[in-house]
A = this chain, B = another copy of it.
């Protein structure tokens, strides 16, 4: 993450613009009765809503106008090439299943990074009105109770830890079994919060998020926010996680090592 010890204020400005635009587009459809969902996959159920597409289009228009030299990778509309060496990574609605069920734990994910990975990210929850921001020199959340600094939890034993996951909904059998080994040793396991779980790591509320089967746009903003708050995000071997796949987000190096030891031995 060279050259990113201070955040370019223009990136923060445009990040807010993108999140504001996505808030409007997603809230226009959230909990509407006639929300139409298509099915992206022949098998299984991967709903894509009009809200997803409208929010990504709104963000793409802003980036074309405000940051024409940057590349873009979006969930719905794919890639836009750039010349700056920087890429915005957008997931207009992470947790579409939650969105179409009316739960308030989906989020808009916005990140920017280079070939070393993301260095700035936003996790935005439009319905609650919460925005989690992380980057060089910035780690804050603004929500119903005001603006607060983000800081991850201090080390504790895994037996005292809270773990979040999207399992049993995602991952292979072997991945599920590896996760279960960590879960059995933890004090509390919670399911199905999507990106919101990473925001809670950054906010110092939980110790671990463990997932598999991620796309790059699912994990880039969470990486930036969790790392800015003092946490660590890697794959299950301790390597970079920003290309997706298996991820572990940890509040600190100590709990990261405890969980990684179990995950590594189960999935080599």
Contacts and interface: CB of A to CB of B under 8 A. Distances in A.
Interface of A: 27, 31, 33, 45, 97-98, 100-105, 127-129, 144-145, 162, 164, 168-169, 187-193, 196, 200, 203-206
B200 A103 contact: yes
Contact of A144 (B129, B168, B188): B129
A169 to B, nearest CB: 8
Given A45-B187, A144-B127, A168-B168, A162 B101 contact: yes
A103 B45 contact: no
Contacts of A200: 101-103
A102 B33 contact: no
Given A129-B144, A200-B103, A97 B27 contact: no
Interface centre among A33, A100, A104, A206 (most CB of B within 10 A): A104
Q: How many copies does the complex hold?
A: 2
26 contacts: A31-B145, A31-B203, A31-B205, A33-B204, A45-B188, A97-B188, A97-B190, A100-B162, A100-B188, A101-B164, A101-B190, A101-B205, A101-B206, A102-B200, A103-B193, A103-B196, A103-B200, A104-B104, A105-B105, A127-B128, A127-B145, A168-B168, A169-B189, A169-B191, A190-B192, A191-B192
A148 to B, nearest CB: 8
A129 B143 CA distance: 12
A102 B192 contact: no
3 closest residue pairs by CB, A with B: A102-B205, A191-B191, A102-B200
A162 B99 CA distance: 12
Contacts of A203: 31, 102
A252 to B, nearest CB: 14
A255 to B, nearest CB: 15
Given A31-B145, A103-B105, 19 more contacts: A27-B145, A31-B205, A33-B204, A98-B190, A101-B164, A101-B190, A101-B205, A102-B205, A102-B206, A103-B190, A103-B193, A103-B196, A105-B105, A127-B128, A127-B144, A127-B145, A128-B128, A169-B189, A190-B192
Query: Which of A103, A162, A206 neighbours the largest number of chain B CB atoms within 10 Å of its CB?
Result: A103
A104 B14 CA distance: 28
A180 B168 CA distance: 12
A177 to B, nearest CB: 14
